[in-house]
Amino acid sequence: MYSGINISQTDARPMYLQIMEQIRARIAAGDWPAGKELPSIRALAAALKVSVITIKRAYLDLENEGVIVTRHGKGSFVADVNGLAGELKEAKLDEHLAEAAHIGRQLGLTEEDLAARLSRAHRNLETQK
């Protein structure tokens, strides 16, 4: 059932982060709509062949981010927040931009250089269409 979620142990990122990302991706894409019930912690652990504690951590952090809601005794659900999918996408964008800024600094680029690079990337995307 959750065969699409893949945890790699050779990935540099810890397992719980990979799980969180993949859940966020599904929510952002709309595959997991608002209000959908998440699999129980144990069921997901067994399905992904990962320890229960890792899934617990992922769910806890997702809840702290407001991405999911856990109702005691009932289970966990995708947060019924308007524009959650969009919010997640924006969070992803900010993450990538922060990374770009960091690398830019290492290369010694100025703010203008960085902005120019971003514009060029945007134009490339347009021409590819």
Partner 1 sequence: MSTSNPIEFRGVRKAFHFFTLDDLSLDLEPGQILGFVGPNGAGKSTTIRLALGLLTPDAGEIRVLGHRMPEAQAIAKRDIGYVSSEMRLFQNATLAWHLRFIASIYPGWDEAYAATLLKRFNLRAEQTVKGLSSGEQMKAVLMLALARRPKLLVLDEPTSNFDPVARHEVLNEFTDVLRDEDRSILFSSHNTLDVERISDRIAFIDRGQLIDSRDKEDFLERWRRIQLQVPPGTALPEVPHVVDRVTDGQFVTLTTNQFSGDLLARLGGTVREVHRMSLEEIFVANVMHHREARGQ
Q: Could you list the residues that contact partner 1 (CB under 8 A)?
A: 7, 9, 12, 14-16, 42-43, 45-46, 49-54, 57
79 close to 38: Cβ distance less than 8 angstroms: no
* Nearer residue to partner 1 within complex by CB, 22 or 34: 22
41 close to 96: Cβ distance less than 8 angstroms: no
* Nearer residue to partner 1 within complex by CB, 55 or 84: 55
Provide the minimum distance between the beta carbon of 7 and partner 1 in the complex, in angstroms, as a whole number. Answer: 8
* Nearer residue to partner 1 within complex by CB, 43 or 107: 43
Q: Which residue type does 48 have?
A: L
The alpha-helical segments, DSSP class H, found in 41-110 are 41-48, 52-65, 84-107
* Nearer residue to partner 1 within complex by CB, 50 or 68: 50
Provide the minimum distance between the beta carbon of 19 and partner 1 in the complex, in angstroms, as a whole number. Answer: 12
Provide the minimum distance between the beta carbon of 39 and partner 1 in the complex, in angstroms, as a whole number. Answer: 11
CA distance 87 to 68: 13
Provide the minimum distance between the beta carbon of 105 and partner 1 in the complex, in angstroms, as a whole number. Answer: 13
CA distance 60 to 51: 15
81 close to 34: Cβ distance less than 8 angstroms: yes
